[in-house]
């Protein structure tokens, strides 16, 4: 009997955790069907191909530092977002790729729920109230949206509360073990490919530490010192991922100051903040207009300067917000959480209100991040934590608090229902009035907005009235109802965010792709032989699919980057965030020169790019679904030019490369420290071989400049017959080595610039912690 009682008590203690895990599994269950795959936006176009390449290299026993299939070669560690060194990469060694890819995406909401749970418990919330807060955050519109569309931002936002909890553990009870865990938890956010979330975690930790100390300023200084120590350790631990990224960012277009236009593109419109409460109306949902072939939505028409939202939804839901409002009255903790959430939500509007500049004025590094809309994630976290406090207060505390919650919920529910009824009665007039304020003035989009607003308001009303009934039951029966708070939050998540994990038939992202099959039939395998260039314009919309799936299928069939990688075809077209300005500007200024330099065999344009007459003039032919394909002569990947001139800037180099008569096979422009002003020699052929993605070997005769049609990166190292040689940037984009007057063997190996110093710093930090821990234990034993 005693054993049964113990088992029952243990099960009751574990019930909130087990329910939370069950809710996560149920939420993701449709996407786990092996016949479908997540595909929306960068999930399909960027992360699926990149993770597939990483998985292939891992199974071959290599870390994928260099990807030769993309942009004529690119450093995956330097691009940050592939998250090559994050522990989640090990999933691709353990599970079949398509399952591992889905599990990788589940990690974001899972971490978000665990972190929010731990923070709520740290605040003193009961297990069931903590589950309500964890469910609200893990299932909020932002987390679910980026889980389906932008993997690193989901894992980054999900890791924030875990990191904050770890730092607060150091603040409340400092120890070397806790310091090590806090540094690692913060560093893992950077390894996930989301350094902005790492900064946000540090700022939240600092603000929380100040709140714990107020009004004792000595204690506040001590707390901030501990937070800073965690931050310094996190930077040291994350150096292997951060240093290579810094090298790439400094030489990319991202090194330029952020313009006001860039700040405004991915910022929430102030009116969109109503979408925290009201689902559907403020979501970026092309399905709302009912046209399969259109990617437009009421959101793109009225609420953004760009053509898409960063996160399709920001909804938190009526139950969570009502509980958060109730939690705002829980002493100082609730008020600070609720106020902080409101400030961050307002800051997510970016330049529209300018609050983000005020909040982050004292954090210089914050200015390099572009997306103010991301601030809705920490805002949602603070609302969720306040909701956990509110659940205990109103549904497990005093009758007065329950009555207040019931009144507020009734007010919201009745108000939302009344607004929905009014919209239904006045919809035609409202649509006419709204259409005048849109970008295109399309009545269809205005009608869709009001239709979605009406449906969202009814959803809001229903959820709010359920909360009101729950609070009234608590008020009348005086029975604890905190478990039902978690159920209400879960119901809100499934009702408002259940459709945000977009999946489609696996073939959309995995192929086979008709165009790829045709190109291979014409030219044979692509790897190490030929490349394609695809003009990145709107592709043909394929029918028979939803608006989102149609866009993804159209891009994959057109082999837009990075879908070419899935097909095993090397591409020249740029797509990664940290783009090389010399490379991209060179392609625009003199495309044929760069096609020659990098061995482009096929150029692909979309069906509407030009007319049949223009196609004949350019010698393009219609292929497959109607894509225009031009075929170019294929030249060797490596060669020696007889003359190379050093230039000091991209502009000077472009002027020479784009000049009439420039022959990329006979002459070159070079950039780099320690290079001669002029290299003289004789043009000659070269024998090139790729040994591994990050290793190449060339046999050539000098004197002259050896040119390799591989994208330049400062991580490339060269030896000539075993002796170190300097690698030059040739024609603003390719690799080059100055050859001596003899026949030589040149070996090139790629090691991301900054990786080795980063590893050394991380190991040194770990060694210092280990030594301090050992010394402390020895001192304690002696004492």
In a domain, 747, yes or no: yes
Which of 267-271, 279-283, 371-375 comes out lowest in average pLDDT?
A: 371-375
Per the structure, the complete domain to which residue 725 belongs is given by 638-752
- Which two three-digit tokens encode residue 70? 């993309």
Mean pLDDT of 354-366: 75
Residue 782's pLDDT band (boundaries 50, 70, 90)?
Answer: very low
- As a whole number, mean pLDDT of residues 90-111 equals 97
Residue 285 confidence (pLDDT): 79
- Domain contains 173: yes
Confidence band for 170, pLDDT divided at 50, 70 and 90: very high
Q: Does 24 map to a domain?
A: yes
Give the contacts of 180 (CB within 8 A, at least 6 positions apart): 233, 766, 769
Closest-CA residue to 160 (of 126, 115, 124, 113): 115
Average pLDDT score over residue span 640-657:
94
175-220: per-residue pLDDT in tens?
Answer: 999 999 999 999 999 999 999 999 999 999 999 999 998 888 999 9
Name the pLDDT band for 304 (thresholds 50, 70, 90): confident
CA dihedral 639, 526, 249, 552 (to 10 degrees): 160
Q: Are strands 643-646 and 667-671 parallel, antiparallel or unpaired?
A: parallel
Report pLDDT for 259: 65
Q: DSSP readout, 54-123?
A: HHHHHHTT----EETTSTTSEETTTTSTT-TTSGGGGHHHHS-HHHHHHHHHHHHHHHHHHHHHHHHHHT
Per the domain annotation, does 67 fall within a domain?
A: no
DSSP for residue 727: E
Q: Give pTM, 2 decimals.
A: 0.94
14 confidence band (pLDDT: 50, 70, 90) = confident
CA distances from 762 to 205, 398, 496 (A): 22, 51, 42
pLDDT band (50, 70, 90) for residue 484: very high
pLDDT at residue 783 in the model: 43
pLDDT band at 296 (very low <50, low <70, confident <90, very high): confident
For residue 690, is it within any domain? yes
Position 672 pLDDT exceeds 90:
no
Q: What is the reported pLDDT for 256? A: 67
- Does residue 385 belong to any structural domain of this protein? yes
How big is the CA angle at 513 (ends 570 and 591), to the nearest 5 degrees?
40
- Strand, helix or coil at 675? coil
pLDDT digits (tens, 9 = 90+) for 412-470: 999 999 999 999 999 899 999 998 888 888 899 999 999 999 999 999 999 999 999 99
Alpha-carbon separation of residue 165 from 18, 168, 340 (angstroms): 21, 5, 17
Of the residues 480, 503, 526, which one is the last residue of a structural domain? 503
Per-residue pLDDT tens for 691-745?
999 999 999 999 999 999 999 999 999 999 999 999 999 999 999 999 999 999 9
| Tally of structural domains, the chain | 2
pLDDT band at 545 (very low <50, low <70, confident <90, very high): confident
For the ranges 282-296, 315-329, 468-482, 607-621, the lowest mean pLDDT is seen at 282-296
Tokens of 138: 């893990």
Residue of 197, 242, 234, 240 lying closest to 80 (CA atoms):
242
Residue 277 lies in a domain: yes
Query: Over pLDDT 70: what percentage of the chain?
Result: 95
Choosing from 503, 519, 535, the residue where a domain stops is: 503
pLDDT at 775: 75
In a domain, 592, yes or no: no
| Mean pLDDT, the chain, whole residue set | 91
CA dist 669 and 656 (Å) reads: 7
pLDDT tens digits, 590-608: 999 999 999 999 999 998 8
**Which range, of 126-135, 178-187, 354-363, averages the lowest pLDDT?**
354-363
Looking at residue 292, its pLDDT comes to: 52
pLDDT for position 360? 76
- Tell me what pLDDT residue 779 has: 52
User: 86 pLDDT exceeds 50?
Assistant: yes
Is pLDDT at 73 greater than 90 in this prediction?
yes
Give the end of a domain, one of 503, 529, 556.
Answer: 503
């Amino acid at each position: 009997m005693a054993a049964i009682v113990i088992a029952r008590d243990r099960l009751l203690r574990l019930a909130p955790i087990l329910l939370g895990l069950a809710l996560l599994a149920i939420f993701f269950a449709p996407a786990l069907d092996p016949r479908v795959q997540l595909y929306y936006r960068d999930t399909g176009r960027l992360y699926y191909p990149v993770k597939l390449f990483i998985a292939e290299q891992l199974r071959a026993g290599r870390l994928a530092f260099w990807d030769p299939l993309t942009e004529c070669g690119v450093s995956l560690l330097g691009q940050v977002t592939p998250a090559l060194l994050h522990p989640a990469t090990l999933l691709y060694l353990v599970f079949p790729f398509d399952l591992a890819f889905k599990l990788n995406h589940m990690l974001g909401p899972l971490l978000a729920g665990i972190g929010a749970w731990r923070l709520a418990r740290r605040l003193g919330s009961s297990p069931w109230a903590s589950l309500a807060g964890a469910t609200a955050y893990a299932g909020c519109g932002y987390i679910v949206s980026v889980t389906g569309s932008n993997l690193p931002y989901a894992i980054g936002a999900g890791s924030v509360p875990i990191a904050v909890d770890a730092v607060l553990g150091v603040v409340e009870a400092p120890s070397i073990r806790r310091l090590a865990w806090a540094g690692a938890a913060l560093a893992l956010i950077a390894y996930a490919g989301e350094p902005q979330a790492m900064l946000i975690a540090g700022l939240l930790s600092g603000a929380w530490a100040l709140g714990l100390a107020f009004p004792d300023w000595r204690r506040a200084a001590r707390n901030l010192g501990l937070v800073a120590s965690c931050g310094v350790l996190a930077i040291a631990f994350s150096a292997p991922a951060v240093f290579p990224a810094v090298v790439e960012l400094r030489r990319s277009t991202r090194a330029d100051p952020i313009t006001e236009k860039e700040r405004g593109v991915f910022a929430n419109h102030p009116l969109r903040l109503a979408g925290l409460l009201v689902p559907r109306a403020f979501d970026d949902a092309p399905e709302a207009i009912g046209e399969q072939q259109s990617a437009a939505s009421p959101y793109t028409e009225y609420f953004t300067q760009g053509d898409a939202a960063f996160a399709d939804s920001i909804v938190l839901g009526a139950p969570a917000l009502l509980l958060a409002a109730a939690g705002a009255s829980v002493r100082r903790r609730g008020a600070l959480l609720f106020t902080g959430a409101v400030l961050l939500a307002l800051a997510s509007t970016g330049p529209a209100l300018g609050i983000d500049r005020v909040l982050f004025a004292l954090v210089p590094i914050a200015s390099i991040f572009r997306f103010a809309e991301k601030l809705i994630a920490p805002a949602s976290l603070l609302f969720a934590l306040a909701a956990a406090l509110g659940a205990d207060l109103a549904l497990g505390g005093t009758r007065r608090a329950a009555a207040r919650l019931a009144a507020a919920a009734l007010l919201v529910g009745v108000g939302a229902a009344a607004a929905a009824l009014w919209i239904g009665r006045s919809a035609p007039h409202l649509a006419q009035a709204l259409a005048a304020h849109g970008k295109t003035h399309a009545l269809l989009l205005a009608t869709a907005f009001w239709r979605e607003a009406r449906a969202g308001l009814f959803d809001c009303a229903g959820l709010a009235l359920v909360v009101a009934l729950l609070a009234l039951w608590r008020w009348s029966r005086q029975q604890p109802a905190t478990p039902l708070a978690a159920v209400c939050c879960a119901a809100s998540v499934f009702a408002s965010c259940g459709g945000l994990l977009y999946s489609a038939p696996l073939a959309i992202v995995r192929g086979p792709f008709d165009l790829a099959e045709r190109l291979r039939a014409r030219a044979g395998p692509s790897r190490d032989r030929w490349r394609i260039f695809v003009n990145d314009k709107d592709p043909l919309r394929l029918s028979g699919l939803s608006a989102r799936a149609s866009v993804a299928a159209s891009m994959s069939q057109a082999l837009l980057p990075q879908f070419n990688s899935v097909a095993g075809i090397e591409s020249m077209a740029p797509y990664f965030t940290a783009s090389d300005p010399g490379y991209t500007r060179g392609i625009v200024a003199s495309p044929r020169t760069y096609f020659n330099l990098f061995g482009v065999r096929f150029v692909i344009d979309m069906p509407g790019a030009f007319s049949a007459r223009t196609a004949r003039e350019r010698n393009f032919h219609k292929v497959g679904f109607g894509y225009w394909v031009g075929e170019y002569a294929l030249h060797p990947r490596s060669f020696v030019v007889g003359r190379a001139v050093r230039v000091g800037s991209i502009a000077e180099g472009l002027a020479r490369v784009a000049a009439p008569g420039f022959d990329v096979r006979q002459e070159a422009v070079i950039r780099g420290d320690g290079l001669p002003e002029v290299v003289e020699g004789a043009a000659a052929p070269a024998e090139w071989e790729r040994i591994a993605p990050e290793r190449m070997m060339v046999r050539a005769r000098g004197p002259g400049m050896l040119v390799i049609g591989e994208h330049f990166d400062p991580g490339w190292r060269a030896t000539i017959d075993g002796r170190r040689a300097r690698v030059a940037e040739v024609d603003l984009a390719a690799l080059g080595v100055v050859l001596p007057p003899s026949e030589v063997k040149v070996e090139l190996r790629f090691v991301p610039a900054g990786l080795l110093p980063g590893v050394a710093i991380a190991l040194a930090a770990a060694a210092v912690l280990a030594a301090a821990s050992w010394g402390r234990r020895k001192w304690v034993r002696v004492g």
